[in-house]
Amino acid sequence: MARGDGPGDLTIRAVPAMHGPVDGVRDADGHVNCEVTGFVLAADGIPTMYVSGDNASVGVVAEVGRRVGPIEVAVLFVGAARVPTKERGRPLTLTGERAAAAAAVLGSSEVVPAHCDGWAHFSEGLERVVEAFDEAGLSDVLWTADPGS
């Protein structure tokens, strides 16, 4: 995809995501809950960015990091989405603790939590993510903003 405002091309790569627990019920195509996708965006002169999509697996994040190489910015879908009738109510997206673990695995210099408010099925808010990053000693990489800013 050509960028109109800078040098070179922007590469967008679809990468795996897992919308539920690793041991979750899989459909005929092997997806937990449903098919979801993450993305990696890369171009000369800009930081490589990972967008996790509706992923709950730190192992999937680690695999993306191994496949792609250094990821400077990670946008992680957090909020610990839960639906009582799916996967016994276990998280379908990253919890705060798992997001901190994913950030540690990636070694990203900036992590932006996203997708954690506005829906009733989110069981954790941004406060829990901030707390989890603090507990993991990773507060310095976490970048938060008010919705819409």
CATH number at residue 35: 3.60.15.10
- Domain span holding position 120: 11-22+30-55+70-141
Domain-located, residue 6? no
Domain-located, residue 17? yes
Residue 33, pLDDT score = 76
Residue 3, pLDDT score = 47
Count structural domains, the chain: 1
Residue 141 near residue 106, CB atoms below 8 Å: no
Domain-located, residue 101? yes
Domain-located, residue 124? yes
Q: What is the pTM of this model?
A: 0.89
Q: Is residue 20 scored above 90 in pLDDT?
A: no
Domain-located, residue 146? no
pLDDT tens for 80-134 read 889 888 888 789 899 999 999 999 999 999 999 998 777 778 878 889 999 999 9
Q: Which residues contact 127 (CB under 8 A, 6 or more apart)?
A: none
Q: What is the mean pLDDT of residues 73-79?
A: 95
Domain-located, residue 149? no
Residue 146 CA to residue 39 CA, distance in Å, equals 23
Domain-located, residue 95? yes
Q: How many Cα atoms sit within 13 Å of 20 on the Cβ side?
A: 19
pLDDT band at 51; cut points 50, 70, 90: very high
Domain-located, residue 99? yes
Tokens of 130: 């901030």
Residue 137 near residue 100, CB atoms below 8 Å: no
